[in-house]
Each structure stands twice: as C-alpha cells, then as structure tokens.
Amino acid sequence: MKIVCIGAGYVGGPTMAMIAYKCPEIQVVVVDINQARIDAWNQLDGCELPIYEPGLEEVVQAARGRNLFFSSDTHKHVAEGDIIFVSVNTPTKTRGVGAGKAADLTYWEGAARMIASVSTTSKIVVEKSTVPVKTAEAIEKVLRRNCADPNVQFEILSNPEFLAEGTAIEDLTVPDRVLIGGKETESGQRALAVLKSVYQHWVPDERILCTNLWSAELSKLTANAMLAQRISSVNTISALCEATGADVQQVAHSIGTDSRIGPKFLNASVGFGGSCFQKDILNLVYICEGVGLKQVADYWQSVVSINDYQKQRFVERIIEAMFNTISGKKIAVLGFAFKKDTGDTRETPAIDVCKGLTQDGAKLVIYDPKVTEAQIHQDLATPKFEWDHPQSSGTKSPRSSAITVVEDAYEACEGAHGITILTEWDEFKKLDFEKIYASMMKPAFVFDGRNILDHAKLREIGYIVYALGKPLDP
Ligand code: NAD
C-alpha cells in the first residue's frame, strides 16, 4: 500500500510521520508545492524541521528514508498512491462572497483537480483538512468529471485531525479518538475499513469512531467551536471576577470538579489563537447563515466577539494601570506564539495586544523562545481586515521602530516599565524576578495574560501585578 499526503504543514507532516512510524510496511510520501518546506523536512540531522513540536524529530528520524519520504514531485506520487490524504490549508476567505467567514477551498479544489488529472488507478481520497460540511459532495464532482479514465473510481472519506499544536506527537500516539466518516454504500464502507486498518496498527478499536461523511465533517467544526466556546465562557467570567473580587482560578477549580463540566480548558487567558479556532467558528457561522439559522449563527459569532473583547480589555487594563499613559514607555512582551511549545503565530492574541499597545505609543521589546524576529515583524506589519475584528477597525500597523525583538527574557525586561506575559511558556515561570525587578523602571508592573506566575511572590518583591480575573492590587 502507498499512502500519499498532499500538504506538508502542521498537520500533514506530523500525522504522516506517525503513520509511517507505526506502519513500517506502508510507504508514506508527503508532497507539497512549497519546495522550501519539503527541503526543510528532508534536512539531515542537526537541522531544524519546518515546524517545532516536542518529539517530532525522533519520529521523523526513525521513519524518514525507511518508509517516510518528503517530495515536491506531487504528480508522480499522487498517481502511484492508493490512499491520498489531502491536508492543504483551508483559510478564511479574504475577499468576495463570504469574505471574513467562509472557508477558502481554492487549495482543496486545486488538489482535487490534480488528483483527478493524474489518476490511472482507483483511489481513496481522505479529507484531512478541516472543511465545511458537505465538501465531500463537491469534491466528488470535481474528481469524477476531471478524470479521463472512466474505470478509475474515487471513494471519499472524512478523517478530520484533532491534534493540538504543541502536543501533536502525544495526541497522535494516544489519540482520544480517530474519526472516520464514509458513505453508507458498500464501496464507501470498504474504503472506510481500509483506512481503519491503517489506524488499527496502534489505535485500539474502541477509539476508532466511524460515522457518515457529513457527521465527520461537522464534528470537526463543532469540536473546535465547543473548545473555543469554553475559553470565551471562562474569559467572560474573568471580567466579572475583576469587577466583583472573585478569583477566576478559584471559580474554575470549583466548577471544574463537577464531573459534568471537567477541569480542562478552563484557564482564563488573553484569548485563544491559532490557525483553527476562529477560522472554524466563522465557517460554522457562515454555514448556519447559509441554511437560514441566523440565531444559531449569532450564538457562535459571540464566541469570536468575546475573544476580541478579551484582548481589547487586556490592553485597556494595561493602559489604565500605567496611569493612563503608555506613550514612550517600554513594555517587555514575553511570549508571542499562540500557545507554549509551538513556534506558530497564526492568529496569536499577541498580534492584537502588541498592535493595541503600540497604537497607544508604547515601545515593545519582544521575546519568544521559538518565534523568529522576522516572523514577529511580519505579523505586526500585516494590516488587519476590518471584518475580522470590528472593534478595532482603523487599527494601523505599528511603526517598526516601536518594536524590538530580542533573544533573552532578561534583556527584554531591562529598563522596562512593565512586563506582559502573552504565552504560557514554562521558562517564564522560572525567571529570576528579583533580578528583573532591579533592572526595571519603578513602579514595575507585571500583566499576566496567562495566569502562570506566582503573583503573591511578585507583590512581595515590589511589583504591581495585574492578572486576568484576579482581585486587583489595592
Ligand atoms: P499549513 O498551511 O501548515 O499546511 C498546508 C500545506 O499545504 C502548505 O505547506 C501548502 O504549501 C500545501 N499545499 C497547498 N496546496 C497544495 C497543493 N495543491 N499541492 C501540494 N501542497 C499544497 O496548514 P495546516 O496547519 O497543516 O492545516 C491543514 C489543514 O488541517 C487545515 O484545513 C486546518 O484547518 C486543519 N487542521 C489544522 C490543525 C493545526 O493545529 N494546525 C489541527 C487540525 C486540523
């Protein structure tokens, strides 16, 4: 059996590496039109892979060259494949009908046309990308009508990916579940059994869930919407805590011990980020609107609105605490990635927070252990789309002179008036805050956007501390 995956990104790379690692008798080839990305996946020992994930390097090194290959020769490998995963990007549309909400399926359709044009043997085509419900219907038409050989059959399966960046290898090794959706026809069920047999190499049967195609497609959007909703819910409570003297961590612990609620995903924060949550909720909103479910659409839209509100609220709190003026003040930004253990900055809340602070005249010195200087400058120079963030419409890109990126947390904090924690990197918890305090302007502020620091200890040292959802300093 030969498996080919179109798209060597955050999902295609790790998922295929895991399949190759666990199934040594299956040949796995990951193809991409981005030659630089393929070259990076093929780097020999000592060079960094194109994405950072704990444990990924070991898995890739064990299988690469044995039964795992990365190539830009897309046509050749797709033509030879039995199972073709499609793991291309499906971003939010930026123009035309549905701009700002609908999923842009340009890359998906391009991949489907290419599969059809090179296929001389029947294939199972697997939706690995997150796509709107009913995408398989459209893809089937594209495949069938673009393949010259009438004997070639395509069977489409939906196999959405639930890995989380930062824990991708752990999530792939011991997944909560693997979801496979297929048609309820005989050939659909046959294809489903073939894909199931791949996962059965390491995933127990009870964790492989089989559904119809539309349920699998919709489950992925729903899972992301529910996870983001939990974050927005606890973030609304963090605002209420600040107004009443309650402590959001105590509230989260109290409700999380209820087995119907559970303790995960209840950390108040400066907001969710990443390439998926906002994109997938907006897509859900668009689908609901399309079928006339306006109230349902409004409900899910509010999850994104609250996320924007939380970022804006955090910026306002910083300005207010620093005596209503941050103009010319140096603020150290610790963390830029959207979460710890990844270098991914897509939709990171740090972008909005940094833009908000520089808009008010602050000078930022940014440090993140895994995000490059070039990436940070690029993210902060990109103008926003008004429809993405209505509250902050009119926000301009900050002047680049207002932003410095350094390679050390202590350097970032030196001479600063305040420190903001925007990513929950473990190394920030271990910093010597006494030493940092001595190097800062006074009064020295800490704004903990992730609630990871020991606030009592910081206050003892002399800092004025603002933490989300926590009682304010007297
Ligand atoms: P990505 O942008 O990192 O990777 C996509 C890759 O596809 C790119 O390298 C691009 O060059 C390549 N590509 C696009 N069109 C191509 C074509 N025609 N032929 C060959 N290569 C092509 O995206 P990602 O983060 O890996 O996400 C992929 C999909 O998985 C998205 O739909 C996303 O919503 C979903 N997803 C992402 C995550 C995540 O944590 N990133 C988790 C679950 C699901």
Closest among 36, 31, 123, 43 to 69, alpha carbons compared? 31
Q: pLDDT tens-digit profile of 39-70?
A: 999 987 657 899 989 999 999 999 999 999 99
Q: Which of 276, 288, 354, 413 is catalytic?
A: 276
110 is in an annotated binding site: no
Residue 397 confidence (pLDDT): 47
Closest among 87, 75, 108, 74 to 12, alpha carbons compared? 87
Pocket probe for ligand 1: among 104, 275, 282, the residue whose CB has the most ligand atoms within 8 Å is: 275
207 is in an annotated binding site: no
Decide if 210 is catalytic: no
Residue 44 confidence (pLDDT): 73
Superfamily the domain 223-467 falls into: NAD(P)-binding Rossmann-like Domain (3.40.50.720)
Residue 166 confidence (pLDDT): 92
List 405's β-bridge partners, or say none.
Answer: 366
Residue 48 confidence (pLDDT): 81
Tokens found for residue 422:
């925007």
Give the H/E segment covering residue 138.
Answer: helix 135-146
Given phi > 0 = left and psi -120 to 50 = alpha, else beta, which region is 213?
alpha
DSSP state string for 394-448? TPPPPPGGGEEE-S-HHHHHTT-SEEEE-S--HHHHTS-HHHHHHHS-SS-EEEE
pTM score, two decimals?
0.92
- Structural domain spans, the chain: 2-203, 223-467
Q: pLDDT tens-digit profile of 116-137?
A: 999 999 999 999 999 999 999 9
> Atom 23 (ligand 1): residue with closest C-alpha?
89
- Is domain 2-203 given the CATH code 3.20.20.60 in the classification? no
Please indicate whether residue 273, judged by its CB atom, sits closer than 6 Å to ligand 1.
Answer: no
List 69's β-bridge partners, or say none.
Answer: 29
Residue 45 confidence (pLDDT): 67
141 is in an annotated binding site: no
Measured distance CA(154)–CA(177) in Å, rounded: 25
Residue 46 confidence (pLDDT): 59
Each residue of 427-449: b (16+ CB within 10 Å) or e? ebeeeebeebbeebeeebbbbbb
- Measured at the CA of 430, the angle between CA 427 and CA 431, to 5 degrees, comes to 95
Measured distance CA(436)–CA(58) in Å, rounded: 36
Neighbouring residues of 228: CB distance < 8 A, sequence distance ≥ 6: 272, 277, 278, 281, 303, 304, 307
Residue 473 confidence (pLDDT): 72
Which portions of the chain are predicted below pLDDT 70? 45-46, 382-400, 474
Backbone φ and ψ of 92, nearest 5°: -75, 140
Tell the burial category of 65 from Cβ atoms under 10 Å away from its Cβ (0-12, 13-18, 19+): exposed
Please indicate whether residue 163, judged by its CB atom, sits closer than 6 Å to ligand 1.
Answer: yes
Neighbouring residues of 83: CB distance < 8 A, sequence distance ≥ 6: 1, 2, 3, 4, 123, 124, 126, 194, 195, 198
123-127 vs 154-158, strand pairing mode: parallel
Residue 237 confidence (pLDDT): 98
2-203 shares its CATH topology with 223-467? yes
> Atom 20 (ligand 1): residue with closest C-alpha?
32
